[in-house]
Each structure stands twice: as C-alpha cells, then as structure tokens.
Chain A
C-alpha cells in the first residue's frame, strides 16, 4: 500500500505563517492543502471606525516585504471616493516607490530564497560560502531598492510618506538624481541576474493556468489598469467582485479566491509577464528572449527568470522616472472626505492585490476588504502540488519535501519565510 501523508507544520514568529499537507493513497495524490494563517482579515476589522487617512499606514503594516502594494491600493481607493486623480509627477513618484518595492522584494526572493532551492543549498547562508559574489550583488541590489523606498517613502520598511492625494513630502530633483549612478549599476547587475538564473535547471512543467493581472494601455502594470485574464476577462476594477469570489475553506484562515464559473487562477510575475510582454522595456524584452523565454511563460519554476526580468524593468523604469522628474509644487492634492465606496487594484511583487473601502461622510471607514495575492494563488498552488507530487512520489522523502517547498516558492508567497523553516512529517499509514 503506497500510502503517505506529507505534513509540514508551521512555525510562529514569521511574517506570514503557513504549512502544507499532501495526502497520498495507493500511489495517488488525494489531497493537497496549503494552510495559511494570514493577517489581512484582522486588518479589515481594525480599519473599521478609523479615519480614511489612516488606511495607508495601517495596511502598510500587513507585510514588511510589500507594504507599498497595500498602501497604494488604500490611497487609490480613497482617492476614487474623494473624486481626485493623482497625476503627473505625483503619480510618477508613486510608481518609483513601487519600483523600489519590486526591486527589493524580487531580489530578496530570487537570490536569498529561490536560488538556493535550484542550486541545492539549504539557505542563502550556505550558498554564500560558494557563491559569495552572487550574494554580495544581491545585497547591493536589494539595498538600491531599499534606498528608493527610503527616499520616496520616508523609510525602507513600512513607508510613512504616502498620503491620500499624494505624499506628505516630495523629494527634490537633486535628491532623486543622487540615486542614478547606483541605478545604472543596478541595471547591469539585474541583467546579469537574468543571465545567471536562465542557466539553472528547470523541470519541464508547463501548466494550463488562467493568468490574471492588470493591463494598462501605456505601461507595464504597477499601480493601475484594467483587470484582464488569459481566458478573456477584461474589466474595470470596479467589476472585480462580479468575476472573482472568495470562499472560506476549513484548513486555512486565508480566504481562497476563484473566478466565478471557472475556478482557480494565477496572479504574479508569470501572469503580468504573459499578459503584458509588449509593455516591457526593449532591454527587458531582449534579456527575456536571451534567457529562453517566449512572450508568455507557463512553467511556474521559470518564475525565477521572470522575476529577474521584472527587476530589470523596475530598474529601468526608476531611471526613466528620475530622468524626467520635476518636483511638483505641492506634495499632495487636498480634498474633503465624503461618503462613498471605492476600490482599487495594483500589482504587488507577488501579484494583483485588490482593496475596497466604504467610508462615511466624516471620513471614517465603515467597511474594508483586502484581497492579497497569496490568497488568490492558494488554490492554484494546491493544484500544482497535487499534480507535481504525483510525478515525484518515487523520490526520497527529503527530496520530495524540497521539491514541494520549491514549488510553493514559485509563487513567492507571503509565507516564503515559513517554508524554509518547515519540518516534514511523513505518516506512512
């Protein structure tokens, strides 16, 4: 009887907490459950009764790796309610801040979390002994992302400078220019990073996903656009709730999302890339081609290459924004609160994120809804695991665990951290 249960317990004291359990009976994978203990649902309750001005600072606390994604969705939603549109240099600065987050988050994940999986190391520390230059480059690249966050956001983790209508304070042209030399170095380093990860060994695992991301007519999506999918969805964000539903499953405190009438879908770099290749910079497109990628990519293990391509894009976009920046006269557009409902979606490093708020006439928050990327990907991760484990059943348990962790890390989930700490229990019935 080939019967085994692979169960990975969670460990507390990490940013997101998760575990996964795969049940195998008679050589067939019966169940794959990703357990996530995720905080956004508590935040939805924390926000009720607070001022609309506080949402960006409160939601920034949901994640230490992608606070900008939460902040941007919060302020964009509020601005829709208030009837203001943040444009020109202020919009560009927000995009720059987002580039900073993409750089630091992608570099952290590619080099420090995912690359050790591919290269056969337990951790970045072990990898550093043999690949010192790689880790040194990663640290320097990540710091450049952090520097953008500090310059535009006020500090590198949980930025404090984002405000409904713009920013509390805007940098001068000279402030931004001070980052140009480092960013030029970063562009070369990011290109090298694509070339490096392209040489890793990838399992041949093309999957049939429904990709979902934002799409904007002029730019690679970061902070706005229509919600589109590879199987025909093309809607304004206001219609998100009509097409995407969240349900509660017993094994996870995170809600699971699905497309109405269809099922699981995929958000994140692979989706963005596959739906927006034409909006990448020429350099990013070229290095992607050199790395062996087509205009779309549906092998989740190759997400490490796509993340690296997006890092090239983010660095180039940061350089473009800085190059044309003129300090705006006012750091924000003032507006009075009014009762209403507003929603927004932006592209967190790990995928589309959606917020919806209702505020009262005095500006207090009546209702908040936050749909983070990892919860949206959770059913797809489970499907991947179910499929992959079936092919890997002959592997030794240690190797099987390693592969499962690597497969989960393809999604750079907010539980990346817990996956590295996991202990595997194999229960042979």
Chain B
C-alpha cells in the first residue's frame, strides 16, 4: 500500500539554492514511516508524477525565482490554482515541476491535497552551498511541513 503522505524534495544539490527542496527532504527524513514517504528527485516531470501516484497528500518543495527576496516562502495549494509561470507550450526535456502538476491535473492523478512550497533562491552556482537566507527558510519550511503532517495524521 502506498503511504498516505509524500514529501517530495525537488532540485539539484550541486547547484546552490536549487538544492533547497532536497535539503528540506533531508531535514524531514525522521518523519518517514509506513504512512509518510520522503523522496528526493531531480525534478524530471514523468518521474515526479509517478512518485505522486497513490498518495492522498503531497508536500512538494522546490526552489523558485519570482523576484522576491531570497528565502521568501510561497505556499501554494495546487488544487486552487496552477503554479505560476506555467506557459501553455511546455515540453519534456525542460519539463519540470509545474508541468508535472498540470499533467497530473489533466490526468486526474494529483493527490487530493497537493501543497507546493516554493522557496525563493538567489545563488545557483555549481558546487555552492545554500545561501544563508535559503538555508534558514529550509529549516522553517521543514518545521511547517512537520506540523502540517502531524495535523494530517492526527
């Protein structure tokens, strides 16, 4: 049986703040159980969508760039609205999280509750660590998700 809740940390740990999703997943490794799975992915859409399969609740964490201050946290309920910046002509090699969510929506395959935490990044240089504001945001988001999951499972 698939776990009820899935936490997906998306990104590339070798590219500075792009690794924030994975960093949050690592901070939440201790919540993994029969009911909760914690997965890190590079963001390729079809794998992402397959990972969501069967889950009732999903928390997806990724880096974003919208122009807000580094470390700003956006919490988006994917059932309320499409993710920002989803153009209508997405492709597959460059087909990432937003496309995976839209494809899941079109197929009726999105978990009943799908929450995306997008954390504003600032530095995406190869081989660099998370920038300080993004590292702080990662810790905060991990705690928010931890609380949400506790409430979900209560």
Contact = CB atoms under 8 A, between A and B. Distances in A.
Interface string B78-107: 000000000111111111000100110011
Interface stretch (A24-32, A317-325, A417-425): A417-425
B46 A113 contact: no
A157 B121 CA distance: 25
Contacts of B46: 108, 112, 139, 142-143
A14 B93 contact: yes
A135 interface: yes
Nearest to B87: A421
B107 A420 contact: no
Given A139-B50, A156-B47, A416 B107 contact: no
Interface residues of B, number: 22
Contacts of B89: 122-123, 420-421
A14 to B, nearest CB: 4
Contacts of A157: 42, 44
A226 B125 CA distance: 43
B145 interface: no
Secondary structure dominating the interface of B: loop
Contacts of A123: 88-91, 99
A426 to B, nearest CB: 17
A100 to B, nearest CB: 14
A83 interface: no
A132 B94 contact: no
A193 to B, nearest CB: 16
Interface in B20-52: 42, 44, 46-47, 49-50
Most buried by A among B90, B93, B107: B93
Contacts of A15: 93-94
A218 interface: no
Given A64-B44, A132-B106, A136-B107, A125 B50 contact: no
A416 B92 contact: yes
Interface centre among B49, B99, B103, B109 (most CB of A within 10 A): B103
A64 B43 CA distance: 12
Contacts of B50: 139, 143
Contacts of B95: 112, 417
B67 interface: no
B127 interface: no
Contact of A417 (B49, B92, B102): B92
A421 B103 CA distance: 17
A419 B92 CA distance: 11
Contacts of A64: 44, 93
A254 interface: no
Contacts of A13: 94
Most buried by B among A124, A126, A142, A416: A124
B107 A122 contact: no
A348 interface: no
Given A65-B93, A157-B42, A417-B93, A128 B106 contact: yes
23 contacts: A14-B93, A15-B94, A64-B44, A64-B93, A113-B91, A122-B89, A123-B88, A125-B90, A125-B103, A128-B103, A128-B106, A129-B106, A132-B108, A135-B103, A139-B49, A142-B46, A143-B46, A156-B47, A417-B92, A417-B93, A419-B91, A420-B90, A420-B91
Interface of B: 42, 44, 46-47, 49-50, 87-95, 99, 102-103, 106-109
Closest 8 CB pairs of A and B: A420-B91, A417-B93, A128-B106, A14-B94, A15-B93, A417-B94, A112-B92, A129-B106
Given A13-B94, A124-B103, A417-B91, 8 more contacts: A125-B90, A125-B103, A126-B106, A132-B106, A136-B107, A136-B109, A417-B94, A418-B91
